[in-house]
């Protein structure tokens, strides 16, 4: 059969670029296999039976096989040169000396490509994990380390950071550990980096002891991040109140940022208990989950818990749920109440439908607000009459709202005057691409 080769019992099909292009009808009728979804650990086992030449041919099958072949080899190659440091005729001295940042993201989702909403998680391990640890051991001047979605077993995770702790205790400035494990497993290593400035970590890897430990470091920003692969079951809890109190005593300048990144409508922020977690110095809440409609009670709960500390409150992404025009079913009232409850609010991003009158009320209420992001396409040009019954507006103030809510241009002009710079409502593209600064 042309274009087909057999390597070690594996059938490899040559690139379609070398064959005649299929018609649209042929493409729709073609049934593909699922070999590209083979977990890395099994791929390593398959590759172990092949010669280097055969492994190369196998890497041409698909992207996932190409990555499995290249990534481990690349990391081992860098490590080998770093270990030799010019001791032979092949290597040169200084390899790895000037590498300051290492970012490794493991493609843990092996879901069927025809079913994008389905998630099948596999953690890294085997020779790929060994190659990663070897590489980290040889990079002794790292400033930034990011390990994302490794999904390790607890036994493997406990020893993951040993060499980094030995080499980079004084030098590491930023550490990102997102879903290092799939289940609950405290990573105490994060507390030994005395000059760490930013720590991004998933909730399943936190613990009371960790919170107390970082109180004795120079850490300034603790990001507690959940993405689509983070566990959402009830066993994952935030550390208890006593640990946060001790941490604040020893490190009063530390700011906590809650983030969630997901496209599943069922994913929400970690459950927060008023008695246990009101002591958290929450500086930011950023929700990038456009399929999840935020309820008014959720907004008011955030305002109640973190009224004196929160400065950034953002709902990112373009909504993928129905937006009501009726005032009672919108978020206008809860957002204004939130602004009243949080006097230090600096940044507010709203993706839902609100009115121009509500925008004017927000900038008038939030005295320290500097950055306001709204979507022009979903803003209603109206002065909701219900506002005059909810709030005690003076006749002069009501007239000001009424006049300046009639058009986008008048609303933008008044908001610009209050905020002190030229402000405008964002297009869909501008809103989607907006980057929120949480370290203000």
Q: What is the pLDDT of residues 31-70, one digit of tens each?
A: 666 676 776 667 667 776 777 677 677 778 787 777 666 6
Taking only the tens place, the pLDDT of each residue in 412-423 is 999 999 999 999
- The span from the CA of 79 to the CA of 222, in Å, is 31
Chain length of the chain: 440
Residue 21 has pLDDT above 70, yes or no: no
* Stretch among 119-123, 173-177, 183-187, 313-317 having the lowest mean pLDDT: 119-123
Nearest of 256, 270, 263 to residue 438 by alpha carbon: 256
pLDDT for the residue 9: 35
Q: Classify residue 252 by burial, with Cβ atoms within 10 Å: 0-12, 13-18, 19+.
A: exposed
For domain 100-433, the CATH superfamily is Ribonuclease Inhibitor (3.80.10.10)
The mean per-residue pLDDT over the stretch 329-356 comes to 97
How is residue 356 written in tokens? Answer: 């121009």
pLDDT for the residue 18: 37
C-beta of residue 325 within 8 angstroms of C-beta of residue 353 = yes
The mean per-residue pLDDT over the stretch 260-276 comes to 69
Residue 323 has pLDDT above 70, yes or no: yes
Tokens 């289940």 belong to which residue? Answer: 183
pLDDT for the residue 40: 60
C-beta of residue 213 within 8 angstroms of C-beta of residue 247 = no
Nearest of 103, 113, 117 to residue 228 by alpha carbon: 117
More reliable by pLDDT, 36 or 7: 36
Query: How many CA atoms are closer than 13 Å to the CA of 417, on its beta-carbon side?
Result: 9
Q: Which long-range contacts (CB under 8 A, 24 or more apart) does 377-381 make?
A: 377/427, 377/428, 378/319, 378/323, 378/351, 378/352, 378/353, 378/354, 379/353, 379/354, 379/355, 379/408, 379/425, 380/325, 380/353, 380/354, 380/355, 380/356, 381/355, 381/356, 381/405, 381/406, 381/407, 381/408
The mean per-residue pLDDT over the stretch 189-195 comes to 92
The mean per-residue pLDDT over the stretch 194-222 comes to 95
Task: Work out the mean pLDDT of the chain and round it to a whole number.
Answer: 84
Residue 272 has pLDDT above 60, yes or no: yes
**Phi-psi sector, 288: left (phi>0), alpha (psi -120 to 50), beta:** beta
More reliable by pLDDT, 25 or 151: 151
Taking only the tens place, the pLDDT of each residue in 344-396 is 999 999 999 999 999 999 999 999 999 999 999 999 999 998 998 899 889 99
């Amino acid at each position: 059969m042309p274009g087909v080769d057999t390597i070690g019992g594996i059938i490899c099909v040559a690139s379609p670029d070398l064959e005649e292009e299929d018609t649209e009808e042929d493409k729709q009728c073609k049934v593909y296999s699922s070999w590209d979804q083979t977990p890395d650990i099994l791929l390593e086992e398959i590759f172990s039976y092949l010669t280097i030449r055969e492994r190369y041919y196998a890497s041409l099958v698909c992207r996932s096989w190409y990555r499995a072949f290249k990534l481990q080899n690349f990391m081992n190659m860098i490590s080998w040169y770093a270990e030799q440091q010019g001791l032979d005729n092949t290597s040169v001295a200084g390899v790895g000396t000037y590498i300051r940042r290492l970012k490794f993201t493991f493609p843990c989702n092996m879901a069927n490509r025809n079913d994008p909403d389905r998630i099948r998680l596999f953690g890294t391990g085997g020779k790929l994990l060994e190659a990663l640890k070897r590489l980290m051991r040889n990079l002794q001047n790292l400033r930034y380390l990011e390990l994302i979605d490794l999904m390790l077993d607890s036994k493997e995770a406990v020893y993951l950071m040993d060499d980094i702790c030995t080499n980079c205790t004084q030098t590491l400035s930023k550490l990102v550990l997102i879903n290092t494990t799939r289940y609950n497993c405290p990573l105490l290593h994060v507390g030994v980096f005395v000059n760490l400035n930013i720590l991004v970590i998933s909730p399943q890897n936190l613990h009371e002891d960790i919170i107390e430990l970082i109180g004795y470091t120079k850490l300034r920003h603790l990001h507690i991040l959940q993405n689509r692969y983070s566990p959402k079951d009830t066993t994952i809890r935030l550390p208890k109140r006593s640990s946060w109190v001790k941490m604040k005593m020893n490190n009063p300048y530390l700011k906590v940022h809650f983030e969630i990144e997901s496209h599943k409508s069922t994913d929400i922020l970690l459950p927060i208990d008023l008695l246990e977690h009101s002591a958290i110095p929450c500086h930011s809440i950023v929700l990038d989950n456009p399929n999840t409609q935020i309820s008014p009670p959720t907004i008011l709960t955030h305002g109640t818990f973190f009224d004196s500390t929160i400065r950034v409150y953002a709902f990112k992404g373009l909504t993928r749920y129905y937006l009501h025009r009726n005032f009672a079913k919108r978020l206008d009232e809860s957002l204004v109440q939130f602004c009243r409850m949080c006097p230090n609010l600096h940044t507010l991003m709203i993706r839902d439908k609100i009115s121009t009158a509500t925008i004017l009320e927000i900038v008038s209420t939030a005295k320290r607000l500097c950055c306001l992001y709204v979507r022009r396409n979903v803003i209603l040009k109206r002065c909701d009459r219900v506002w005059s019954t909810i709030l005690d507006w003076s006749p002069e103030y009501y007239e000001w709202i009424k006049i300046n809510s009639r058009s986008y241009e008048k609303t933008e002009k008044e908001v610009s005057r209050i905020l002190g710079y030229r402000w405008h409502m964002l297009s869909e593209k501008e809103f989607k691409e907006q980057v929120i600064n949480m370290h203000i």
